[in-house]
Structure 1
Amino acid sequence: MRLVQITDCHLHANPDAQSRKGFPLRQLRAVLERARALRPDVVLVTGDVSQDETPASYRHAFEAFSGFDCPWFWFPGNHDRSQLMAELREIHNEVDLDHWRLLVLDTQVPGQVHGELGQAQIQELAWRLEEDDRPTLLAMHHPPIEVGSEWMDAIGLVDREALWQTLAAYGQVRGILFGHTHQAFATRHASPIGEIAIYGCPSTSDQFLGGSPDFAIDEASRPGLRVVDLEGDRLATWVERVDL
């Protein structure tokens, strides 16, 4: 089972619009061309599909992702309007990956840049984990840990400690995928019953400079995607970059 993660497209209604350093729709199309060559079984889009939150920006994304021969799923980030996304394609909170399952968590706080799960959603996650002990991936937009950039850590997941306290009881959670940070990232979080791998993904638009205390663009990095291969109980993952 091969999953490809795409994130932080930041599209505009104008297909030729420019971001800080690049052209979001042009770059997304280049990343998706590479993704199709990797022959994924599932594609997951982990938020910030739009920059200007317009219906046209989501139509551009929908048309681009519809070029896949496999199922694809999306959910909102802090820049998105969930209703506009759902009008084009349903937002799922779970994806069956055969021997594995993927649970999607909504970290969006309308009108805010930071993320939050909330007590109700964390409790629901516990119930969902109780009902199925298959190896599990979680996916969310905001990072559930600090990533080493002061400005980014200030707009991450504010109730991450509550999440980790809940996950400490469920050994089937093997990994977490997130967006938001516009950079490749990998670490592990130790829990009482095992380690959970945590992975960030390059943006298809601009890349942020890792480790910078203040906001900065990484002009040397290229757009990219993350590949996740699931075989048995094992997870293997890597990042692919795209030349423009």
Structure 2
Amino acid sequence: MLLIQLSDSHLKADPAGLYRDVDVQARLSAMLASVSRHQPDLVVFSGDVSDDGSIASYQRVAKQLDALGCPWVWLPGNHDHPATMADVRPLKTVIHLDGWQIILLDSWIDGEEGGRLGEEQLARLETQLADDASPALIVLHHPPVTVDAAWMNEIGLEDRETFWARLDRYDHVHAVLCGHIHHEMTCLHDNVPVMSVPAIAAQFVPDSPDFAVDSHAPGGFRLVRLSIDEAQRPRLSTRVEYLLSKV
């Protein structure tokens, strides 16, 4: 099974609206053309779909994702408006495909840049993992780890320690995907790979102590291949593909 992760398009109601001098609608269209050539089995959009939370921006994205001809899901980032997203396409919490469970978490906090899962959602996560022993991939917007950019850590996932404490009880979580940081990152936390994806919109400088945009860095998406081999062992492989055009 091929899953493709997209993140952080920051669209506006106006299709011509820019995000930090990037034509994000043109960038998204070019990105989805590349995604389509891979014929994914599932597309997961890990937040900040919109920059202004407008229904027009969500409707445009949904129309373009529908045109891929494969299942797709999205989850909210800090710039999104979850209720408006759900009016266009319901927010799912878990997807089952080819023996894997893809668990979608909502780290949105009204009016804040940082994220939080909260006790109720963490309890649901633990129940899901306790009741379903199939290999799991978790997706959320805010990174559940510290990153090299100090300013970004101030707006990361507040309850990440509690998140990892819950996961520590289960050994069938094989990776965590996130967005928010606007660049590619891979690290290990308690032997679980944590991976971010480049933004569709402008990229941030990975190791800057203060907010900084890399105006030359291309956007991209992550390809994740999930399978279970003949010995019933889960297999995961992944890579990032960059959009090298000047869009």
Report the TM range for the smaller structure's normalisation.
over 0.9
Counterpart of 2:128 in 1: which secondary structure? helix
CA contact (8 A) 2:183 2:206 kept: yes
**Runs (4+) of structure 1 moved beyond 6 Å?**
none
Distance 1:122 1:55 in 2: 29
Q: Could you say which residue in structure 2 is the equivalent of 1:210? A: 206
Please state if 1:103 is matched with 2:103.
Answer: yes
Q: Could you say which residue in structure 1 is the equivalent of 2:240? A: 239
User: CA offsets per residue over residues 9-42 of structure 1, 9 Å max, x none?
Assistant: 1001111111213101100011111111111000
Distance 2:9 2:237 in 1: 24
Please state if 1:39 is matched with 2:35.
Answer: no
Counterpart of 1:47 in 2: which secondary structure? coil
Q: Could you say which residue in structure 2 is the equivalent of 1:89? A: 89
Distance 1:69 1:57 in 2: 20
Distance 2:194 2:103 in 1: 14
Q: Could you say which residue in structure 1 is the equivalent of 2:150? A: 150
Distance 2:194 2:125 in 1: 17
Gaps of 5+ in 1: none
User: CA offsets per residue over residues 27-80 of structure 1, 9 Å max, x none?
Assistant: 001111111111100000001011111111111111121111110001111111
- Deviation of 1:172 after TM superposition, in Å, equals 0.2
Counterpart of 1:198 in 2: which secondary structure? strand
Distance 2:38 2:60 in 1: 22
Gaps of 5+ in 2: 229-233
CA contact (8 A) 2:98 2:227 kept: no
TM-score (norm 1): 0.96
Counterpart of 2:202 in 1: which secondary structure? coil
User: CA offsets per residue over residues 146-194 of structure 1, 9 Å max, x none?
Assistant: 111100011000110001111111000000000111100101112xxxx
Distance 1:150 1:111 in 2: 21
Q: Which of residues 183, 194, 201 in structure 1 aligns to 2:197? A: 201
Amino acid at match of 1:238: R
TM-score (norm 2): 0.95
Q: Could you say which residue in structure 2 is the equivalent of 1:72? A: 72
Calculate percent identity across the aligned residue pairs: 38
Distance 1:93 1:27 in 2: 28
Counterpart of 1:26 in 2: which secondary structure? helix
- Deviation of 1:90 after TM superposition, in Å, equals 1.1
Distance 1:54 1:139 in 2: 23
CA contact (8 A) 2:219 2:242 kept: yes
CA contact (8 A) 2:9 2:201 kept: yes
Distance 1:223 1:40 in 2: 19
Counterpart of 2:187 in 1: which secondary structure? strand
